[in-house]
Structure 1
Amino acid sequence: MACPPFGSRSKRLSKLYLEKKDTLVVMPTGGGKSLCFQLPALLLPGVTLVVSPLIALMKDQVDALQARGLPAGLLNSSQTLEEQRATLDAIRQRTLKLVYVAPERFRSQSFLNALPKDAISLFAIDEAHCLSQWGHDFRPDYMRLGEARKALGSPPCIALTATATPDVQGDIMQVLEMREPAEFVAGFARENLSFKVRKIGSNADKQEALLRLIKQHKTGIIYCATRKSVDKVAAAIEPLAGSVIRYHGGLSDKERTQAQEIFMQRKSNVVVATNAFGMGIDRADIRFVCHYEMPGSVEAYYQEGGRAGRDGAPSVCEMLFSYADKRVQDFFIEGANPGKELIARVFDMLCAESDENHEVRLPVDDLCERLNTGRKVNPMAVSTAISTLSRHKWIERFEVPGRRLKGTRILKLGQSGRDLPLDGQALAIKAQRDEARLKAVIDFAYASGCRQQWILNYFGERNSQPCGRCDGCRQRKQLANREVKADEWTLVKMALSGVARMSSRRAPDEWTPRFGKRKIIQCLLGSQSAPILDAGLDALSTYGILKREGSAFVDALFESFEQAGLVQVVTEEGFPLLKLTELGSQVMRGVAQPALALPERTAGSAGKVTTAKKLKKGQAPEGILDNALYQKLAAKRSEMAAANGKPAYTVFPNFVLVELANLKPSSEREAIKIRGIGPAKLKTVLPPFLEVIKAHNA
C-alpha cells in the first residue's frame, strides 16, 4: 500500500507494534525510514533493538539521538567489554529506548543469551534487503536474523529498506518469518532528481563529461567500480575540484572514517568512491551523483543516486555508460559466485596446505596460484569460497599475530570438499540472478523514454507518469511528432529494411537480432571498415542505401525509431543488439503508420539535419557520437583555414566533420565514401584530418 503522511503513519505504526504486528517498510532514500522505528520506539514500554550494518553509521545515529536528549546506545565490536556490559545493564533496567546492534554480533550464542528478552519491545532491521540472496547487497550475517529473532522470544519486527523488488520483499518476509505483516511501500519517485545516461565513446569523453558535471553542480559523489579507478579519477579531477576525498575498501578503518567526516563537515565537496561509501550518508546538499562506470544492479544505481538532493532541491543522477565497462561487473559476478565445484577445490587445497596444527597461513593470491590449473582463478571467487566454508563451519578464520593476514583453521578434519552440504543448483540460480540484474542495468541504459518511469516499473510500481526531467523526457520534448511525408515513409522503410536484413526472421513480425545499432547504421551508410567487410555485410541489398543521407541524419532517424518503439536495444548473450519490434515490422511492410518525430532534411541537401541556432564553441552538433574527436577536427580545420587566410567552411563544412568524427575513417579509401570529400580534397585537405583521427584512436 502507499504510505500515508508521516504523522498518521507513525501513529499507525505505533498501534501496529502495540498489537505485536510485523511490518515491512520500503521507502526511497531520504524518505524518513529511521523515523518509522525511532518515534514508535519512544511510545513502547521496553527497548527497540535496531540492526544496522555499519559501525560508523550507528555511532552517528546514536550521537544524533543523544544530542536531542533521547536515550539511545549501541552494541558492537568497537566497544570494550565494560561498555558492552553497561549497555546490557541499561537494557535490563529499561533506561534505553533504542539500541543499535551490528548484525555480526548475532553470530554469538552467548551474546543472544545475554540479551534480556523480556525487555525487547521491537526488533528493527535497517537495510533489510541485505538478508535476501537475490538482493543487490546480500550479507550472510543478515541471514541469522530470523533465528536471532526467535531466540529473543519473537518480538514484533519491522524491516526497512530503500530498494527491494517484489521478489526481495517476499524474501525478507520469509527469512524473518513475518506473520501477515503490514506492508508500507512508499512511492519510489523522487520529484527533485533528474536521471540521465550519457553514452560514452572513450575515456577522454568520460573525463570531459565528468568535469562538466563538477563545474556545473559543485557538490557530489562519483562512484567507481574499482579502487584503481577511484585513484585514477580522483587524480584527474583534482585540478578542477580542488580537495577531493577518496574512499574505498583498501583504506584503513581510520582513513575511511576520517574521509567520511571531512565530507560530512563540508571541508570537501567531492567524493570519489566505490560502493563502500554512502550507506547512511545524510548530507543534504549533494547536488549530483555520478556513476563513472555502470553499477551491478538497478537497485544499487537507484539507492546510490538517491543520496543526491535530500534537501529537496533539484539534483542530478548521471551514469557515464560504456558497454566495455561490463567486463568489470562480469568479474565481480564471477567472484561472488564461485560455484560448488570451486568451493570444494578450495577446501581440499586448504587441507593439503595445512600444517600439523591444521592451519594455513597464506594470502589469497598464493592460494589462487595453487588452484590455477590452466585457467586463472578469480581471487574474489576464492575469497567468497573461503567465506562460504567459514559460514558452514568447515573452517574458521583467525588473525595471524604480527601480520595483516587472516589464517585458516580446518574444522572438518578427514572430510573431502565433495561432501560439502551445498545446493549446487541454488548457487547456479543465484549467479543467474546476479547476471539478470546486470542485464537490467544495460537494458536501462539503452532504453528510450522516461528514466524514472522505467525504474518505478522495475520496482513494481505501475501506472506512473513521465517525470519530465530526465534525458529521455527532455529528448521527447525536443523531438515532437509531426506529419510524415510520402518520401519520408520510403526512407523509414528503407532504414527498417536494413535492420531486418541484419536479423533472422522467425515469423512475419518476429525478428531475432544479430547486430548492434552502430554496425547496422554503418552498413546502411556503406562503411568500408574492416568489421563490416569481414562480416560480408557489403553484400547485403541494403548496404549503403542511406549513404547520401549522412551519419548525423541517420543517427537522429534511429533515435526517433527507438522513441516510437519501432526498434529497441536488447542484450543477447552479453551483447547489446538492435531488434526490430512487431510495430517496426508492420511499418516496414506498410501496414502501420504511427506518429514519428523524424529529423528534418533541408531542401536540396539530403541528410543535413537542420539546427535552430549557430553552435557555440565546444558545443556538440546534433547527431555527433564523439564530440571530443569533433572538437579536435574543428581545431585542425581552424588552424588550416588561418594558415591559408580563408573561412573555415572552405576547408570542410560542419557536416563533413560530423561524418569524419562518427565514421572515423582510417584511410582515403574509407573517407572517399563521405559526402563532401571529393578526389581533390582527398589528397590535399584530408591527410591532416586522418592523422587527428589516428591519434585520437590510439
Structure 2
Amino acid sequence: MSATETAPATTRDPRAALEKHFGFAEFKDGQSGVVSALLSGRDALVVMPTGGGKSLCYQLPALVMDGVTLVVSPLIALMKDQVDGLARKGIAATMINSTLSPSEQQDRIRQLREGAYKLVYVAPERFRHRGFTDALKAVEIALFAVDEAHCLSQWGHDFRPDYLRLKDAVAALGQPQTAAFTATATPEVRADILEHLSLRDPFVSVSGFERPNLALNISQVAGNREKYERLEAVVREHQTGIVYCATRKKVEEVADSLATSGIRVIAYHGGMDDRDREWAQNAFLDRSKDVVVATNAFGMGIDRSDVRFVIHFETPGSIEAYYQEAGRAGRDGEPSVCELLFNYADTRTQEFFIEGNNPGFETICDVYRTLRMLADDKHEVMMPIRELTDTVGAKNQMAVGSALSHLGRAGYLERFDIPGERIRGTRLLRPEIPPEQLELDRAALEEKERRDHQKLESMIRFAYADECRQQWILDYFGEKGAAECGSCDVCNRETDKSDRRPPKDDAEFVIVQKALSGVARASRKREDGPWEGRYGKGKIVGMLAGSRAQDILSAGLDRLSTHGLLKSEGTAYVHALLKALESAGLVATQRRDNYALLTLTDHGAEIMRGDRKFRLRWPDASRMKALTGGGSGGSAKNNGGIPDLALEELAFDDSLYEKLRQTRNRLAEEAGGVPAYVIFGNQTLEFLTRLRPTTMEAGLRIRGIGEVKAERYLEPFLEVIREHQ
C-alpha cells in the first residue's frame, strides 16, 4: 500500500465485519463479550486458550474503531505470521521491529499518521527508545493491545523485562484504551497484569482452559534410545506437528535424527539468523515441511490449524509453558495428541535455566563491580556477555545477562546498540554508587527464584500424577471439579492402573514412610524450597538395609536414625521399592557433577507426612527376599547363593554389564589368560548387574560367588558398581 492510500473503510457492525473480513457467521465462545466491551471503550484483560480466537478479539475492533490499533507482540515470527494473515484477508496491517532499517521504520510511522494502516504490530524492545514513543504521539491510537501479556509478570512463565516499559509508554501516548491478551495465566499472574498496566475498570474475561480435542499423554522414558523410539512412533502415526526441545543444540540433534529417518523436518531456534528462521517458518506454514523441531521461540500465533501433534522432547519449566505449547495442536478442533517424553534427568536443564534467570544479589553485585572496573571515561563498556561472564568469574552466562537486566530496571545502567556491531554496549548511569549501596529488592529476588522452583516442581508432579491430565491442568489454573477427559494416557490406562494400588494395610504404608524417611535424612532441603540429593541410590539402599560396609561408614550414614530401618526387608526389596517410589514421583534422581544422587520430592514429603494418598507398583516382597536371602542379617552364604528367580523385577543396565564384562576380561588376562568364565560366569555377571551389590557381604549372597572367589576377584567388580551408581 502506498503512503497516499488509506486503510479501507469497513462497516461499524461487528457481526457484519466478522463475516466480511474473517468469514465467520458467529463468534466463538467468549469472543462476543470481549469485542462488545472494547467497542464500548473499556479496558480489558482477556485470558483465552490457544485456538480460542483471542487475536480476533482485537483485530475485529481495530476495523470498526477510528484510528490505529497498536499491537505489542514479543516475537518477529509471530508478528509476520499475523500481518501476512491479515494481508490475505485484505486488511491493512504492518509491523515495526528490528528487521527494519531506521529509514524504513520512519516511513512506516509516516504512513500510520496518514491513515494507511488499521493495525501495526510492534516489538516491546522498540519502547526502549524514547524517539519511537515520541513519533507515535502523532498517530491516532484507538487501542493499545498487549499480546502474550503474561510476559509482563515476573511470576509468569515467560517474563520479558521490556514488557515493563509498556506502562510508561501507554502514559506517554495519552493513556489510550488498553487491552491485555494471554492464553495461560494463573490468578496471581492475572493480578500482576492488571497492576502493571493500570487497567481502568477493566472487562475481565477468563475463558475455560479445557481443550477437549487434545489427548495429553506422558511417556516415562528411561533414556535417549527409548525417547527417540517413542518420538519417531508418534511422528509417523500423526505426521504433522511440532517437537519442542529445551536447547538449540538438542533441536539440531533431534531434527537430524528425524531427517535421517526420512521425515520431512525443519529446525527452528533463536540461534539461526532472521532469514533462516523465516524460511523455516514458511516451510512449515506452506506445508513443504510437516514437522518442525524448535525451541519455545516457535509457535506463538502460528496459523497452521492441522497440527496433529505436539511433542515435548524434554520437560518444560512450568505448567504454563507446557500447556501453551501443547495448545498449538488441534487448533481446527480435530483430535490431536500432545506427548511429553519425561525423564527426570531432563529437569537439570530447567534447573540451569532457573539459575540463569535468578542470578541472586551477590552475582548482581559482582557484575556491577566488574562493569565499574571496566568502564571507560564515558562510563561505557563494549564487551560481549560471554567475555563479561569470564571476567566476572561466573559459571552461568545467562545469570550475567539477567543481572544486567536487573541493574537496568533498577536504573543503574542502560544497554545500547552499537552501529555495525552485533553486540550491545552497557552504559553506567550512576557510576558513583558502589556495589554495596545498590538498592535492590533482595526479598523479591529470592521470592522469584522460589516461585520458579515451585513451577518446575509442579511440572514434575504433573508428570508423575496418577489422575486425569486435563483435570490436573484445569485444577492448576483454578477450574475446580472438572470431569475426566477420557482421552489422556491416565484415563486410557485401565490395564496399567490395575498394577498400581494404594497400600493394602498399615504395614505397607509404614514401609513406604520408612523408605521416604531414609531418603529425606540422606537429602537436604534448600532454603529456596526444593530438595537436593547428597548420596547415590546404592548408598541409600545400603543405609536403609543396615549395611556396615566401609563406604556407608565413611559417609556417616550408619549414624543416621534411619540406618537399618528396612533391614528385615532385604537389599533387593529396598532397591526395587526405591525404583517404584521414583516411578511414582516420590523420590527422584538428580545429576550433579556427573553423579546420580537420590533425593526426596515435595510429593514424597507429603506422603511421608501422611498428607496425601498414593498408588504404587509394589515389588513382590517374597521374590525380593528370595533374591537376597532375606534381610541384611541373614547368613552370608544363604544356602548356596541366590536361586533362579524372576530377575526381571530388577533393572538391567547394558552399560554396567559391559563394564563388568570388561573387568572380568582384564582379571582373566591378569590371571595368566584363563577363560573368562573361570573368574565369573555370565549369569553371575547378570546377577551383579541387576542386584548391584556394593559390599562384600552383599556380593557373597550371589550365586556363583564363593568366599574364595570373593576374596580373590570381587572387590574390582564392587568398585565398578559403586562408581557406576
User: Within 5 A, what are the aligned runs for 1:308-323?
Assistant: 308-323=329-344
Distance apart, 1:128 and its partner CA = 0.3
Distance 1:300 1:429 in 2: 20
| 1:448 equivalent in structure 2 | 466
Aligned partner (choices 358, 363, 366) of residue 387 of structure 2: 366
Distance 2:550 2:311 in 1: 35
Distance 1:33 1:219 in 2: 24
Distance 2:442 2:614 in 1: 51
Percent pairwise identity: 44
Q: Does structure 2 retain, via aligned residues, the 8 Å contact 1:204–1:628?
A: no
Distance apart, 1:218 and its partner CA = 3.1
Are 1:50 and 2:66 an aligned pair?
no
| 2:491 equivalent in structure 1 | 473
Distance 2:500 2:434 in 1: 70
| 1:492 equivalent in structure 2 | 508
Distance 2:242 2:57 in 1: 27
Q: Which amino acid aligns with 2:459?
A: V
Rate the CA distance shift 1:318–1:697 in 2: closer, same or farther, 3 A: farther
Aligned partner (choices 458, 461, 472) of residue 479 of structure 2: 461
Q: Does structure 2 retain, via aligned residues, the 8 Å contact 1:125–1:160?
A: yes
User: Within 5 A, what are the aligned runs for 1:180-195?
Assistant: 180-195=201-216
| 1:350 equivalent in structure 2 | 371
Are 1:502 and 2:526 an aligned pair?
no
Rate the CA distance shift 1:22–1:546 in 2: closer, same or farther, 3 A: farther
Mean Cα displacement is larger for which, 100-109 or 414-423? 414-423
Rate the CA distance shift 1:253–1:531 in 2: closer, same or farther, 3 A: farther
User: Within 5 A, what are the aligned runs for 1:330-345?
Assistant: 330-345=351-366
Distance 1:310 1:607 in 2: 54
| 1:545 equivalent in structure 2 | 569
Rate the CA distance shift 1:264–1:412 in 2: closer, same or farther, 3 A: same
| 1:16 equivalent in structure 2 | 37
Are 1:405 and 2:423 an aligned pair?
yes
User: Within 5 A, what are the aligned runs for 1:496-645?
Assistant: 496=512, 498-499=514-515, 502=518, 535-536=557-558, 540-543=564-567, 545=569, 568=586, 575-577=599-601
Q: Does structure 1 retain, via aligned residues, the 8 Å contact 2:365–2:435?
A: yes
Q: Does structure 2 retain, via aligned residues, the 8 Å contact 1:192–1:309?
A: yes
Aligned partner (choices 424, 427, 445) of residue 427 of structure 1: 445
Q: Does structure 2 retain, via aligned residues, the 8 Å contact 1:205–1:628?
A: no
Q: Does structure 2 retain, via aligned residues, the 8 Å contact 1:601–1:607?
A: no
Where does the alignment leave 5 or more consecutive residues of structure 1 unmatched? 506-511, 609-620, 633-650
Q: What secondary structure, in the 3-state scheme, does the structure 1 residue paired with 2:260 have?
A: helix
Rate the CA distance shift 1:665–1:213 in 2: closer, same or farther, 3 A: farther
Q: Which amino acid aligns with 1:115?
A: L
Q: Which amino acid aligns with 2:468?
A: C
Are 1:277 and 2:298 an aligned pair?
yes
| 1:163 equivalent in structure 2 | 184
Q: Which amino acid aligns with 2:444?
A: A
Rate the CA distance shift 1:45–1:345 in 2: closer, same or farther, 3 A: same
Q: How many residue pairs end up in the alignment?
A: 637
User: Within 5 A, what are the aligned runs for 1:87-102?
Assistant: 87-102=108-123
Q: Does structure 1 retain, via aligned residues, the 8 Å contact 2:650–2:690?
A: yes
State the TM-score, normalized to the length of structure 2.
0.73
Distance 2:386 2:516 in 1: 49
Distance apart, 1:422 and its partner CA = 2.8
Are 1:258 and 2:276 an aligned pair?
no
Distance 2:495 2:204 in 1: 37
| 1:617 equivalent in structure 2 | none
| 1:212 equivalent in structure 2 | 233
Distance 1:550 1:394 in 2: 55
Q: Which amino acid aligns with 2:150?
A: H
Distance 1:351 1:389 in 2: 13
Distance 2:229 2:548 in 1: 30
| 1:31 equivalent in structure 2 | 52
Alpha-carbon deviations, 1:647-683, whole Å to 9, x = none?
Answer: xxxx98xxx98x8876456899757768xx6779xx9
Q: Does structure 2 retain, via aligned residues, the 8 Å contact 1:131–1:172?
A: yes
Aligned partner (choices 421, 431, 435) of residue 417 of structure 1: 435
Rate the CA distance shift 1:602–1:25 in 2: closer, same or farther, 3 A: same
Alpha-carbon deviations, 1:435-470, whole Å to 9, x = none?
Answer: 222222222223221222222222111111222222
| 1:640 equivalent in structure 2 | none
Q: Which amino acid aligns with 1:540?
A: G
Q: Does structure 1 retain, via aligned residues, the 8 Å contact 2:657–2:689?
A: no
Q: What secondary structure, in the 3-state scheme, does the structure 1 residue paired with 2:45 have?
A: strand
Distance 1:100 1:429 in 2: 33
State the TM-score, normalized to the length of structure 1.
0.76
Where does the alignment leave 5 or more consecutive residues of structure 2 unmatched? 1-25, 522-529, 591-596, 628-646, 659-681
Rate the CA distance shift 1:360–1:135 in 2: closer, same or farther, 3 A: same
Rate the CA distance shift 1:34–1:673 in 2: closer, same or farther, 3 A: farther
Q: What secondary structure, in the 3-state scheme, does the structure 1 residue paired with 2:120 have?
A: strand
Q: Does structure 2 retain, via aligned residues, the 8 Å contact 1:513–1:579?
A: no
Distance apart, 1:236 and its partner CA = 3.5
Distance apart, 1:112 and its partner CA = 2.5
Distance 2:255 2:547 in 1: 39
Aligned partner (choices 196, 199, 207) of residue 178 of structure 1: 199
Are 1:240 and 2:261 an aligned pair?
yes
Q: What secondary structure, in the 3-state scheme, does the structure 1 residue paired with 2:569 have?
A: coil
Alpha-carbon deviations, 1:189-224, whole Å to 9, x = none?
Answer: 211222233333333333333333334333332222
Distance 1:483 1:242 in 2: 40
Tell me how large the CA RMSD over aligned residues is: 4.9
